[in-house]
Amino acid sequence: MHKFLYIIILGLLWGQGTAQAQGDADEETITRILFVFDGSQSMHARWQSGQKIDIAQRLMIKMLDSLERLDSKSFQLALRVYGHQKPVPPQDCNDTRLEVPFGSKNIGKIKRVIRSISPKGTTPIARSLQRSAFDFTECENCRNIIILITDGVESCDEDPCAASRLLQKKGIALKPFVIGIGLDKEFRETFDCVGTFYDAADEETFENVLGVVISQALDNTSAQINLLDHNNFPSETDVAITFYNRTSGMVAKQIVHTINNLGNPDTIHLDPLVVYDMTVHAIPEVHKDSIRIAPGTHNIIGLKMPRGSLELKMPNTRTGYNNLRCIVRESGENTILHIQDFNSSQKYLEGKYDLEILTLPRYVQKQVAIDAGRTTTISIPPPGVVNFTSTAPGYGSILVERNNKWQWVIDLNPNNSRQSWTLQPGNYKVIFRNKTSRKSEYSVSRTFTVSSGSSSVVKLN
């Protein structure tokens, strides 16, 4: 069997609320790294300056020495080993064990265990990945990473790719990194489904890639979100943004976009191990999918979002409405996009919108243009109040005259003999029949006019 050395990194978001905790600036995130180390028999094979096990042990110890000099308050380490307990044959696919659990100041113990490993058994990669998930205790503010180090393909007729996909689908694991030594094209394609592949052709490359992986595991990367106006200048701001983990669909980070005191979009930090989908909660919402963060550099994420304002105005009078609102739809669409209060201003993406103002009768304006960087103002006259009186309650409707025809506005309340309605200026007619009258011929109609700010009485006797 063709053998090689590869490293898989799986970022785990273990437990409820962990993804949200990543975006919480008030609580420091702890990065927990679980090393899953290959102790299988094939690690005795020769590679470069010695046996694979000797080289892997030496480079792991060197890397751990570097981590030991860092401030360990921001990260924790643990070690799982497989293929090291029982020799082959026979094959034991349960030969995987957590040797050093997470804890503070345990790097020395991890190094001692790594030095003591004597390769013996098989290579249960998929089962080790599955069980690794349970090595992480629940934590509200932890970012969990798995680094799997092995020199061979799966030996237990199980599928590491399926294990990786399941972890990602459930929101437990991020897309892994795969680092292969001496891996031909056939085997490289085999592991494309597991993660992003890196080819380590020699010991130096292996050491460098391991350093890059550890760096990415420990550090988030800076980014800024450029919301571009109609001049392609990043001036749009003060809008909520949600970042989703594209693989799991879980919320990874939520912010309100800000322009800093230098006039630039503010810097945020994103995990380079995650592929993001971003939703900007503008009206309407704007989406950008499959955002990849380049580690070790400042990332700029641009999104064109030219906006203008819609201002709704009605002069205040004693006969005004309480909480008058307007339904806003994208032009030609039936779905309600927003409900905006009168005497307010709201930003919308540049485009055309249909407005339905909830007066009596309703005003409908279609194809209202909102231009980027400008304010479109819709102003309506104040209403009047009409008081209806009758000797007894009855059935009836208020109609408005439009284009020489009468259109229904609203039905009267059949349980009240006295009632008031706030109506927009115009010519109206009320048709009414007393409840005690059992013949249609007893219906009465009255025409009346409503003026802004006026109050009138219509008798239905």
User: Does residue 4 register a pLDDT over 50?
Assistant: no
Query: What was the pLDDT predicted at 180?
Result: 67
CA-nearest of 302, 303, 306, 250 to 283 is 306
What tens digit of pLDDT does each residue of 337-365 get?
999 999 999 999 999 999 999 999 999 99
What six digits make up the tokens of 186?
A: 């056939």
pTM > 0.85: no
Alpha carbons 47 and 44: distance in angstroms, whole number: 9
What six digits make up the tokens of 198?
A: 């890196």
CA-nearest of 379, 382, 386 to 422 is 386
CA-nearest of 399, 444, 394 to 421 is 399
Alpha carbons 425 and 455: distance in angstroms, whole number: 11
DSSP-derived pairing of the beta strands 405-411 and 394-402: antiparallel
Residue 241: phi and psi, rounded to 5, are -135, 135
Helices 107-116 and 52-68: crossing angle, nearest 10°?
170
What six digits make up the tokens of 26?
A: 């008030």
DSSP-derived pairing of the beta strands 384-389 and 418-423: antiparallel
Under DSSP, the state recorded for 440 is G
User: Does residue 213 register a pLDDT over 80?
Assistant: no
Q: What is the mean pLDDT of residues 102-114?
A: 93
DSSP-derived pairing of the beta strands 6-12 and 30-38: unpaired
Helices (H), 191-295: 203-218
At 16, is the pLDDT very low, low, confident or very high (cuts 50, 70, 90)? very low
At 140, is the pLDDT very low, low, confident or very high (cuts 50, 70, 90)? confident
**Choice between 160 and 429, residue whose per-residue pLDDT is larger:** 429
DSSP-derived pairing of the beta strands 338-341 and 299-304: unpaired
What tens digit of pLDDT does each residue of 409-452 get?
999 999 999 999 999 999 999 999 999 888 999 999 999 999 99
CA distances from 195 to 12, 116, 198, 318, 449 (A): 14, 30, 10, 68, 74
What domains lie within the chain, and their CATH numbers? Answer: 6-218 (3.40.50.410), 221-304 (2.60.40), 307-379 (2.60.40), 384-459 (2.60.40.1120)
At 201, is the pLDDT very low, low, confident or very high (cuts 50, 70, 90)? low
Strand arrangement of the beta sheet that strand 375-379 belongs to: 344-349, 307-313, 375-379
User: Does residue 309 register a pLDDT over 90?
Assistant: yes
Query: What was the pLDDT predicted at 317?
Result: 67
CA-nearest of 127, 147, 141, 237 to 195 is 147
DSSP-derived pairing of the beta strands 30-38 and 75-82: parallel
Torsion angle defined by CA atoms of residues 55, 57, 60 and 62, in that order, rounded to the nearest 10 degrees? -80
CA distances from 291 to 24, 52, 287 (A): 21, 37, 11
CA-nearest of 250, 298, 296, 297 to 274 is 250
* Least confidently predicted of 200-204, 271-275, 402-406, 424-428: 200-204
Where would I find the beta strands (DSSP E) of 138-203? 142-150, 177-180, 196-199
